[in-house]
Amino acid sequence: MPNRTHPSPALSQLRIQSSRPHAKAEQHGVCALEDYTCLTGESFAIRALRAQLRRAAPHFRFALIIGEIGTSKETVALALHRLTAESDATFIKHTFASLLIALQELTPRPNMLSLPDPIRSDSTRKTMFFPDADSLNHGEQLCLLQTLRRFVSLKCGADRPRIIFAAGPDLRGLSSAGHFDRNLYRMISSVEIMLPPLRCRPEDIPLITCALLSRSASSSAFDGRALSSLQCHDWPGNGRELERVVELARRRAALDLDRKDGVIEPVHLPPLTQLPRLINPRFDTQVERLDDIIQNHVLDVLLRCKGNKLRAAERLGISRSTLYRMLEASAPSSALDRTA
C-alpha cells in the first residue's frame, strides 16, 4: 500500500475559508480587497497595504503603484478603483498616446465656451490607468507633465477623473538620479502605494494557494511539506510565478493515480530553482524554454484525457513510446508507471 498523506485540519479549514475571487467585488461595484488573490493574506505587510488602499480610495487624484514584476499592479489598481461606491464608473487602461489624447479632450481650449459637453461629461466618470510610467523617455515625461498641469487646473469638482500610474520599484531611484523628471514624479506620487514582494511575506502563501486552487474549482490542497517548500522559495516572479507553480502542481497531482485524496505533495511540485524566471521584457530578451512549453502542453492534454496515454498520444499525433519519453522528464514517477 502506498503511503498516503491526508490533509491536516488546518488545511481543511483553509479550504473552507477560501472563497471564489472577486465574488464580493461584483456586488454593487464595491470591492472586498480580501477577494483578490494578490491582496490575500494576514501578514503585516498585506494588511497595511489593504488599509492604505481603503484610506486612499475616496480622496486620491493621482496614485502611483510601485512593485516588482508579477506583483499584479494592474489588479491592485482595479481594486483601488472598485473601492468607491460608483458602480457605473469605468476603468480604462491606457498607452502613453491614448492617455495624452484622453487628457487633452478634457483640457479647456482657448476661446472654448464652458458649456456641458456630452463626451466630456462621460469622460469624467473614469479611472485611467497607465502601467508604464518608468518606460517614458525625457521628452515624453515633459509632455505628460505639461498635460497633467493643465488637467489639474480643470474645475470638475468631485467628477474629475482619477489617474493611477504603475512602475517598477526603481522609479524613486531614477528620479533621485535625474533619469526621471522629479516634478513629474512628485505629481504622480501624491499617493504612493508600495506592493510587498512575495518573498517578504511567506506566511501568506498557504492562504494564497488555497485561493488559487478554489479559483480553479479544485478540491486539492497542499500538504505541510509542499507548503514549506513554497515558503522557502524566493519567488523572483512573485504572485504570477506562484500561480504557475500551483497550476502545474495541481495537474501533476491529478495525474498521480496513487493519490486520489487531492493532496499535493512535494513530488508534484515543479523544480522551483529551474523554473524560467519572469523578467521584464524591456530589459532582457530571455523567453520561456521551448521544452517547458511542450511539456506543459503534453501534461494538459494527458489531463484532459483523464490519464489515458493511448488517447493522449493520438490527440498529440505522436506514438505512445514517444509520449512516455516526454513524460519521464516532467510527471511524477508514480504517475508514469500506469498504463492507459
pLDDT at 286: 45
- Angle, to 10 degrees, between the axis of helix 238-255 and the axis of helix 224-232? 150
Strands (E) located in the chain: 62-66, 90-93, 126-130, 162-167, 192-194, 221-222, 263-264
Grid look-up 505639461 returns 146
Q: Cα separation of 135 and 118, whole Å?
A: 33
Are 165 and 64 contacting, i.e. CB atoms less than 8 angstroms apart?
Answer: yes
Ranges of each domain in the chain: 44-194, 199-336
Q: Which of 182 and 313 is assigned the larger pLDDT?
A: 182
Q: Tens digit of pLDDT for each residue in 208-221?
A: 999 998 887 667 88
Assign a CATH topology to domain 199-336. Answer: Helicase, Ruva Protein; domain 3 (1.10.8)
What mean pLDDT comes out for the span 41-54?
Answer: 93
Q: How far is CA 327 from CA 42, 200, 320, in A?
A: 38, 35, 11
Taking domain 44-194, whether its CATH number is 3.90.1150.10 is answered by no
Query: Which amino acid is residue 178, in one-letter code?
Result: G
pLDDT at 153: 78
pLDDT at 302: 77
Q: Cα separation of 247 and 263, whole Å?
A: 14
Q: Cα separation of 74 and 83, whole Å?
A: 14
- Of 57-66, 97-106, 117-126, 245-254, the one with minimum mean pLDDT is 117-126
Residues in the chain: 340
Q: Identify the H or E element spanning 154.
A: none
Q: Which of 60 and 114 is assigned the larger pLDDT?
A: 60
Q: Cα separation of 63 and 74, whole Å?
A: 12
What mean pLDDT comes out for the span 160-172?
Answer: 91
Query: Which amino acid is residue 302, in one-letter code?
Result: L
pLDDT at 5: 43
Q: Tens digit of pLDDT for each residue in 96-153?
A: 999 999 888 876 655 444 444 434 444 445 899 999 999 999 999 999 999 999 888 7
Q: What string of H, E and C letters represents the secondary structure of 297-337? A: HHHHHHHHCCCCHHHHHHHHCCCHHHHHHHHHCCCCHHHHC
Say if residue 280's pLDDT is above 80: no
- Of 56-65, 122-131, 257-266, 272-281, the one with minimum mean pLDDT is 272-281
Say if residue 56's pLDDT is above 60: yes
Say if residue 238's pLDDT is above 90: yes
pTM (predicted TM-score): 0.70
Cα angle for residues 30, 214, 92 (degrees, 5° grid): 40
Query: Which amino acid is residue 214, in one-letter code?
Result: S
- Place 31 in a pLDDT band, splitting at 50, 70 and 90: low
